[in-house]
């Protein structure tokens, strides 16, 4: 747009052109959805072999019949798989049902209402209320858990290599109410960035300075979810913390939701054995054990970390063209125009787009009115409030490639139209 | 024993005889377990057809792919199955993962910390603390949930036809702290009794007199679990309550844990739509949805309530000889001897045995020392405290029939030995 220097007539002409393009999109009667990070049918098909894989053999090597009751921690073979995925010891892993989100909620609920190992005072009794650091943009369901449990959230900016540790260290120093922090260290939801070595090292060092009941919620949801190139390396935080007390402050999560079946996978929680002992006391009240039959299906289907990695190459192959399509539509139409910036992730499920300040809601509205549903603006921020009204999360995994392409054509038109209109409305 | 009138020499001779029998059992080096109500391998085998039944067809009639995310309430077909089982409308049912226990915990957690429809004050803020009525003997896992959530428990005796409603009505009148009551209306755990029409009608009437946030936890865990004869009829509580406000105070539970796979079944929660709306807001924070793949397996395998009933006849056939064995060993050895009484259930998973007062712990200890593990005495009471130290729960479902028989021979010997010793030690 070349902003300030652009003559008004030129802006008016652009507005007319984009309006016309937008009207054409509206007339097309589209019904497309880029809202959530869901695997497509083709991706789900990669794991169809899960169903029936047991061939009615339900016995583990140790004699356990997986159809029966019991086994609060999950079957040993599933715990071992989770341990490989999260790079910890099998005895530090709980293998659960279909959702790491449930593990996260239950872990924080136990902390809020009952306290954690190291400090048995419930977080809810924190003077002034408990607080969590939330790197933004982040995962809306993380923030919903905090909101539900009465944990106040403080935004921390992301740098492209993880959270801004200058900010984190400063806040931690200042505020004893801070009980924890959310992290998605690889292909972060929704920016797609991965934490670099320095960031992870600074997190490990920081943990030494936190209170004994501080908990880092390390959601490695996209550990093996490379789309392009080699998987992102990630410094092993737990390894850095071991023997220094920090190992009791790291709670790690992963699941197979975006590896096998989104709604029928298995989840993992990894933490120090002391942490697990405390959490298991609570867990044993609400369940006799997870669905071990489905855990055994997963073990038979995935085998080990190498099996997972091989399987994930199939996902990458399906996802790559969709992400390339998003990138190329953005670059072609919005590159170097001063109408916004975006991330080009090498893994995960999302692209983050940043409009000019104050336009995210308007772009989402325009797209919606033209039949392209986007995640509500602000959703990636605590309380749904993006202070800049600038961030939009694009999730191209679920629709067919041609629909991603159509949706992106609408999207870039909406961004251009909103940007030009903003310029026109600005006081001269 | 003919108690008081029995000459001391005779008692001494009996003690010697039972001691000898006991020593012989000890010498046999048994390792048997009657502790938990677990389906046997033969029962699990009845449902082996679940695995692979989908034949890789994952689509519902409405187009939903069950492998994907979503569907907080469960698939419509599973909700319909739960509705038939619990005799409510499908829209009043949530179909969940593998455990009704988890539903119970989460429902009560939501009540304790967030309040329920009709009164948004959290139960935890009840002056003096919330209280639950607990018919005893009852299910230890129900009581563990109350204990964990800080809900005080009050014992209510069972009559053989359900809880003693004179006692219940009296307490309800007196104590505004009472927030709810546990009920296992059919083949109750562990007495095996079913609630008669009068009891259910009095419960329905009583509900009208409770506060808007009172909740009856109606755990119909053994709805279709007849062992002998026709299934126990049960007056439809929800139907009795409809239109009177009581329908918002009944929360019903069931699962397929003792129908298909104990650890890999599906669970149901049924309640008024208003209740469900409130509970779903909480549920949506901790899960995107249950494992719909496994729900579809269950729907395909069980079809409908008639399918369930037909399937349950297979269970009854396996369970009946074990319960007959327990009954006949008890009758042969302890019938009319004044050494205890017991229930003869026509369904469910347990027999309740009542020793002479003060002997339950001793009998459990003796049996354990002779290689027969029993549920700890007191387990069927809140806080693990049987005021009479008299109740023992026998769970004959899991072991093979010949092991049930061996275990019962040990058990009756332990009861006889403990009873005679008590008599000998009594002041003359």
Does an H or E element contain B416, and which? helix B401-425
Q: How many C-beta atoms lie closer than 10 Å to residue B64's C-beta?
A: 17
CB contact under 8 A, A264 and B67: yes
**CA-based nearest distance A144→chain B, Å:** 6
> What backbone phi and psi angles, to 5 degrees, belong to B44?
-60, -40
Which of B41, B67, B294 lies closest to A65 in CB terms? B41
Residues of B in contact with A70 (CB under 8 A): 263
Q: What number of CA atoms fall less than 13 Å from residue A409's CA on the CB side?
A: 13
- In B245-359, which ranges are continuous DSSP H helix? 273-286, 292-302, 305-334
Q: How many C-beta atoms lie closer than 10 Å to residue B125's C-beta?
A: 11
Residue with tokens 């900016």: A157
Interface of A with B in 132-161 (CB under 8 A): 141, 144-145, 148
- Dig out the tokens for A391 from the structure: 């961030």
**CA-based nearest distance A329→chain B, Å:** 28
Residue A428 has pLDDT above 70, yes or no: no
Does an H or E element contain A249, and which? none
Residues of B in contact with A41 (CB under 8 A): 65
CB contact under 8 A, B263 and A67: yes
**CA-based nearest distance A101→chain B, Å:** 6
What was the pLDDT predicted at B4?
Answer: 57
Averaged pLDDT score across all residues of chain B: 95
CB contact under 8 A, B144 and A285: yes
B346 in helix, strand or coil? coil
Residue A309 has pLDDT above 80, yes or no: yes
A399 close to B (CB below 8 A): no
| Tally of residues, chain B | 428
Q: What is the mean pLDDT of residues A117-130?
A: 91
CB contact under 8 A, B291 and A47: no
Q: Which of A286, A289, A292, A397 is the best residue to mutate to test the B interface, defined by the most B CB atoms within 10 Å of its own CB?
A: A286
A231 close to B (CB below 8 A): no
Cα(B287)–Cα(A199) distance, integer angstroms:
30
Q: Which residue of B has its CA nearest to A107?
A: B286
CB contact under 8 A, A58 and B47: no
Closest CA to A179 of A212, A136, A145, A155: A212
What was the pLDDT predicted at A427?
Answer: 78
- A267-270 and A32-33 beta bridge pairing: unpaired
Averaged pLDDT score across all residues of chain A: 95
A282 close to B (CB below 8 A): yes
**CA-based nearest distance B360→chain A, Å:** 25
Virtual torsion, Cα B412, B416, B421, B423, nearest 10 deg: 140
Interface of B with A in 95-124 (CB under 8 A): 97-99, 101-102, 105-106, 109, 113
CB B160 within 8 A of CB B115: no
Closest CA to B83 of B286, B304, B245, B250: B304
Closest CA to B99 of B218, B256, B252: B256
Q: Please, which residues have CB within 8 angstroms of residue B400's CB and are 6 or more apart in sequence?
A: B40
CB contact under 8 A, B52 and A47: no
Interface of A with B in 55-74 (CB under 8 A): 55-56, 58, 65-71
Task: Spell out the domains of chain A, with CATH numbers in brackets.
Answer: 3-43+309-425 (3.90.1150.10), 61-303 (3.40.640.10)
Q: What is the pLDDT along chain B (428 residues), one digit of tens a residue?
A: 445 568 899 999 999 999 999 999 999 999 999 998 999 999 999 999 999 999 999 999 999 999 999 999 999 999 999 999 999 999 999 999 999 999 999 999 999 999 998 788 999 999 999 999 999 999 999 999 999 999 999 999 999 999 999 999 999 977 889 999 999 999 999 999 999 999 999 999 999 999 999 999 999 999 999 998 788 889 999 999 998 889 999 999 999 999 999 999 999 999 999 999 999 999 999 999 999 999 999 999 999 999 999 999 999 999 999 999 999 999 999 999 999 999 999 999 999 999 999 999 999 999 999 999 999 999 999 999 999 999 999 999 999 999 999 999 999 999 999 999 999 998 76
**CA-based nearest distance A70→chain B, Å:** 7
What was the pLDDT predicted at A2?
Answer: 46
Q: Please, which residues have CB within 8 angstroms of residue B123's CB and are 6 or more apart in sequence?
A: B111, B112, B115, B130, B151, B179, B213
A146 in helix, strand or coil? helix
Residue A154 has pLDDT above 60, yes or no: yes
Could you tell me how many CB contacts below 8 A there are between chain A and chain B? 147
Residues of B in contact with A35 (CB under 8 A): none
Residues of A in contact with B57 (CB under 8 A): none
Residues of B in contact with A293 (CB under 8 A): 51, 261, 263-264
Which of A51, A67, A294 lies closest to B262 in CB terms? A67
Q: Which residue of A has its CA nearest to B291?
A: A264
Residue A117 has pLDDT above 90, yes or no: no
Residue A101 has pLDDT above 60, yes or no: yes
Q: What number of CA atoms fall less than 13 Å from residue B68's CA on the CB side?
A: 17
What was the pLDDT predicted at A343?
Answer: 97
Residue A31 has pLDDT above 70, yes or no: yes
CB B295 within 8 A of CB B77: yes
What b/e string do you get for A191-221 counting C-beta neighbours within 10 Å, with b at 16 or more? bbbbbbeebbebbbebbeebeebbbbbbbbb
Q: What is the mean pLDDT of residues A312-333?
A: 98
Which of A41, A52, A66 lies closest to B263 in CB terms? A66
| Tally of residues, chain A | 428
Global pTM?
0.96
Residues of B in contact with A78 (CB under 8 A): none
Residues of A in contact with B39 (CB under 8 A): 68
What was the pLDDT predicted at A1?
Answer: 44
First to last CA, chain B: 16
Q: Which residue of B has its CA nearest to A67?
A: B261
Which of A36, A141, A287 lies closest to B102 in CB terms? A287
A277-291 pLDDT, tens digit per residue, is 999 999 999 999 999
């Amino acid at each position: 747009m070349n902003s300030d220097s652009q003559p008004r007539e030129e802006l008016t002409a652009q507005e007319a052109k984009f309006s016309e393009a937008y009207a054409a999109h509206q007339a097309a009667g589209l019904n497309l959805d880029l809202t959530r990070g869901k695997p497509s049918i083709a991706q789900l098909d990669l794991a169809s072999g899960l169903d029936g894989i047991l061939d009615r053999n339900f016995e583990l090597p140790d004699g356990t019949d997986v159809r029966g009751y019991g086994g609060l921690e999950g079957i040993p073979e599933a715990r071992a798989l989770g341990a490989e995925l999260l790079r910890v010891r099998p005895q530090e892993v709980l293998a659960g049902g279909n959702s790491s989100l449930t593990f996260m909620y239950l872990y924080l609920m136990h902390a809020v209402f009952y306290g954690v190992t190291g400090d048995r005072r419930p977080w809810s009794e924190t003077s002034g209320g408990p607080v969590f650091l939330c790197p933004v943009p982040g995962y809306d369901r993380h923030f919903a858990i905090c909101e539900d449990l009465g944990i106040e959230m403080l935004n921390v900016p992301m740098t492209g290599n993880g959270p801004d540790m200058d900010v984190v260290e400063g806040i931690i120093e200042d505020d004893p109410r801070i009980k924890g922090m959310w992290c998605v260290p690889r292909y972060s939801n929704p920016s797609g960035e991965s934490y670099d070595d320095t960031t992870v090292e600074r997190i490990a060092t920081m943990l030494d300075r936190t209170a004994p009941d501080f908990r880092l919620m390390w959601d490695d949801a996209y550990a093996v979810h490379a789309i392009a190139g080699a998987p992102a390396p990630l410094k092993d935080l737990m390894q850095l913390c071991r023997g220094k007390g920090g190992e009791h402050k790291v709670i790690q999560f992963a699941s197979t939701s975006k590896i096998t079946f989104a709604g029928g996978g298995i989840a993992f929680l990894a933490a120090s054995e002391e942490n697990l002992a405390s959490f298991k006391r609570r867990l044993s009240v609400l369940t006799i054990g997870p669905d071990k039959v489905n855990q055994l299906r997963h073990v038979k289907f995935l085998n080990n970390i190498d099996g997972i990695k091989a399987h994930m190459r199939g996902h990458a192959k399906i996802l790559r063209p969709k992400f390339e399509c998003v990138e190329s539509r953005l670059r072609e139409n919005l590159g170097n125009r001063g109408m916004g910036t975006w991330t080009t992730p090498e893994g995960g499920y999302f692209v983050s787009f940043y409009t000019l300040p104050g336009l995210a809601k308007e772009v989402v509205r325009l797209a919606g009115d033209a039949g392209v549903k986007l995640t509500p603006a602000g959703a990636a921020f605590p309380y749904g409030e993006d202070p800049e009204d600038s961030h939009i999360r694009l999730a191209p995994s679920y629709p067919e490639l041609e629909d991603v392409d159509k949706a992106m054509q609408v999207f870039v038109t909406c961004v251009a139209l909103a940007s030009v209109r903003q310029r026109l409305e600005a006081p001269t």
